[in-house]
């Protein structure tokens, strides 16, 4: 008998939900806008979950969201985009849904999906870095999701990348996500556009499109524009350097790189690998990790949290 | 019936060995010089182990050494101070000793001892940093020694602390151990001595003693000398900043600080804690870790590896 679970990924603007089987396949999915009010948000998640349960007889529900989730995976300690502060989200949702609910950090859920069904399915020890607006992290240790002592480990985007660095929304400065995210790529591309020389094409594109979106920069990278490639190289180098440090601490077999920037594939991975090898303590005297691009795209969060829910059900 | 095991800690200059009971108590111990030749070194370890086994009927032997040890804990991939390169140390020693031998990285062994019998005995998730000549690291996750995907995780002293930083013996630059070790304390004290002002006492001590040893600096710190305290503050700040980053990645409940510098106790921990809180992503919105000074001193390595050997026997 196949077991179905519901996965729901709460983003800052959209809630994505779906029904997932035990092989990580999505049988049905949909999305709604994310309400700003927390009560309305919970009601929207409950309604989405109930509608899938009614139609597919799903046994459990997984809910992923950005934020610090406690070790019991019951309470959202703090969320950056939603007004949850010590919110007992598991209990709130279980009361409305009437099925077991598993809650998980969204970057962790995406990493778990890649580990189970995507780029990491052949290893036991994996680190995932999601290069989106920020940099999300997930750590799989010995085939298990790593949560740390308080539930909030693997915030790899907030590892300090350099001292006295750029300010970060977390209250710190120099965090990796200020140097290796999609937003960092935009910042670097803008700086190169300002500088003339190899930035001329970027500057022209910025005038034409009214700004340098990730899409515009990616098109220029794929077209081989030197300025756009230089912006990518800077961001990729930062990510690779940081992976050298993560290797010293976590020693994974594999780094999986996801998020919008990762759609560039090998054009991204090549300078990442170079910077990683150049930054690895004891290089030449130790086993090194492989790098791979994530395979499950934007669905990774809901697939991963649905799978986690199925394991607990 | 009490179970006894032998623990042997191979250092760069001395091999320390002892017989340890299942409560981590040392019943007997001794030390010999470390031979430079690897065959003589193995023979010295075998002789030391055999002498304890003959006298105490110990059931297993643990051997700790600096270096990268493979995931099977059988082979030393690379050691910094001993000419082991892919050395099948477990097999070599078991052939000579005739008892099961467990090999473990020395910083890991010391961390394990603190976790089992020392400052970390009340938590499940702990990070130990040993401030010796370098900075050693050990990570305990969910009550288990963390080894990573290739066996060499937890090299916390080689996490990059700052970009374009001081060169390190590992081939990298900017490694934490260049900023937060006993050697870093000596370097900072020397720089302050050179600068006049608050460095005058340090400069005078340097002339009197022919150099600034850790012992001389510690005496001045304990006497309240402003220059020596400033040197300590710099090193403690580096360590605390790094702990903020380790919190983001590993989220431990407790940091245990060991090594020679840690003998300063609260004088060290106070600035470490301050820098940690100042460097913690999401401070005020998350649980924080405690800090403690290691309790087992130089015996931690042999106690820890003896305990690990007992668990595998």
CA–CA distance, A150 with A262 (Å, rounded to integer):
30
Query: Domain spans of chain A?
Result: 5-112+299-312, 122-294
DSSP per position, B89-127: HHHHHHHHH-S-EEEEEHHHHHHHHHHHHSTTTT-SSEE
User: What dihedral do alpha carbons B132, B134, B139, B145 form, nearest 10°?
Assistant: -80
CB neighbour list of residue A31: distance below 8 Å, 6 or more residues apart? A14, A15, A16, A17
* φ/ψ of residue A257, rounded to 5: -110, 120
Q: In this prediction, what percent of chain B has a pLDDT beyond 70?
A: 100
Please say if the pLDDT value at position B83 is more than 70. yes
DSSP per position, A83-131: --EEE-HHHHHHHHH-S-EEEEEHHHHHHHHHHHHSTTTT-SSEEEEEE
* φ/ψ of residue B68, rounded to 5: -90, 120
Q: Do B282 and A149 touch (CB under 8 A)?
A: no
Q: E-strand spans in B61-202?
A: 61-65, 68-69, 76-78, 85-87, 101-105, 126-131, 135-141, 144-145
* pTM as predicted: 0.96
Burial class of B256 by CB neighbour count within 10 A (0 to 12, 13 to 18, 19+): buried
Burial class of A198 by CB neighbour count within 10 A (0 to 12, 13 to 18, 19+): middle
Any chain A CB within 8 A of the CB of B263? no
Please say if the pLDDT value at position A312 is more than 90. no
Overall size of chain A counted in residues:
313
pLDDT in tens, A164-174: 899 999 999 99
Q: Average pLDDT for residues B134-159, to the nearest whole number?
A: 97
Question: What pLDDT was estimated at residue B60?
Answer: 97
Q: Tokens representing B244? A: 């903020």
Interface of B with A in 78-107 (CB under 8 A): 78
Q: Do B248 and A162 touch (CB under 8 A)?
A: no
Q: Do A286 and B77 touch (CB under 8 A)?
A: yes
| Helix (H), strand (E) at residue A6 | strand A5-10
Query: What does CATH list as the number for A5-112+299-312?
Result: 3.30.420.40
ipTM above 0.85, yes or no: yes
Matching CATH number, B121-294, of 3.30.70.920, 3.30.379.10, 3.30.420.40, 3.40.50.2300: 3.30.420.40
Question: What pLDDT was estimated at residue B2?
Answer: 78
Residue to mutate among A145, A281, A291, with most B CBs inside 10 A, is A281
Nearest chain B residue (CA) to A253? B149
CA–CA distance, B241 with B236 (Å, rounded to integer):
9
pLDDT in tens, B162-216: 998 999 999 999 999 999 999 999 999 999 999 999 999 999 999 999 999 999 9
Grouping H, G, I as helix, E, B as strand and the rest as coil, residue B2 is: coil
Q: Average pLDDT for residues B300-309, to the nearest whole number?
A: 98
Q: Average pLDDT for residues B115-143, to the nearest whole number?
A: 97
Select the residue of B125, B148, B161 nearest A148 (Cβ to Cβ).
B125
| The B101-105 sheet, strands edge to edge | B26-33, B14-20, B5-10, B61-65, B101-105
Nearest chain A Cα distance for residue B191, angstroms: 21
CA–CA distance, A120 with B220 (Å, rounded to integer):
53
Is residue A1 very low, low, confident or very high in pLDDT (cuts 50, 70, 90)? low
Q: In this prediction, what percent of chain A has a pLDDT beyond 70?
A: 100
Select the residue of B159, B250, B282 nearest A68 (Cβ to Cβ).
B282
Q: Do B248 and A159 touch (CB under 8 A)?
A: yes
CA–CA distance, B14 with B32 (Å, rounded to integer):
6
CA–CA distance, B231 with A250 (Å, rounded to integer):
30
Q: Do A249 and B252 touch (CB under 8 A)?
A: no
CATH architecture of the domain A122-294 equals 2-Layer Sandwich (3.30)
Question: What pLDDT was estimated at residue B312?
Answer: 78
Grouping H, G, I as helix, E, B as strand and the rest as coil, residue A297 is: helix
Cα dihedral sign, B102-B104-B106-B107:
negative
User: What dihedral do alpha carbons B107, B110, B111, B114 form, nearest 10°?
Assistant: -160
Question: What pLDDT was estimated at residue B52?
Answer: 97
Select the residue of A241, A251, A281 nearest B148 (Cβ to Cβ).
A251
């Amino acid at each position: 008998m196949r077991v179905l679970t519901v996965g729901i990924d709460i983003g800052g603007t959209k809630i994505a939900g779906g029904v997932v089987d035990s092989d990580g396949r999505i049988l049905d999915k949909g999305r709604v806008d994310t309400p700003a009010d927390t009560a309305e948000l919970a009601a929207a998640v409950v309604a989405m979950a109930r509608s899938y349960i009614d139609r597919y007889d799903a046994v459990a529900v997984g809910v992923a969201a950005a934020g610090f989730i406690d070790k019991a995976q019951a309470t959202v300690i703090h969320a950056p985009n939603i007004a949850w502060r010590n919110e007992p989200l598991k209990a709130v949702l279980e009361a409305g849904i009437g099925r077991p609910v598993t809650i998980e950090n969204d970057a962790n859920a995406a990493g778990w999906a890649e580990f189970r069904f995507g780029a990491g399915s052949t290893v036991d020890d994996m680190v995932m870095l999601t290069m989106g607006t920020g940099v999300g992290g997930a750590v799989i240790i010995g085939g298990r999701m790593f949560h740390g002592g308080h539930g909030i480990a693997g915030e790899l985007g907030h590892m300090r990348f350099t001292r006295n660095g750029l300010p970060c929304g977390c209250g710190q400065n120099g965090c990796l996500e200020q140097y290796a995210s999609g937003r960092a790529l935009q910042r670097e591309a803008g700086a190169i556009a300002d500088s003339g020389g190899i930035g001329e094409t970027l500057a022209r594109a910025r005038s034409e499109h009214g700004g340098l979106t990730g899409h515009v920069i990616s098109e220029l990278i794929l077209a081989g524009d030197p300025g756009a490639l230089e912006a990518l190289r800077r961001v990729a180098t930062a990510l690779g350097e940081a992976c050298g440090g993560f290797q010293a601490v976590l020693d994974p077999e594999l780094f999986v790189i996801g998020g919008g920037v990762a759609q560039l594939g090998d054009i991204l991975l090549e300078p990442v690998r170079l910077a990683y090898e150049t930054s690895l303590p004891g290089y030449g005297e130790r086993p090194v990790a492989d790098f791979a691009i994530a395979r499950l795209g934007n669905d990774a969060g809901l697939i991963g949290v649905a799978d986690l829910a199925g394991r607990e059900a």
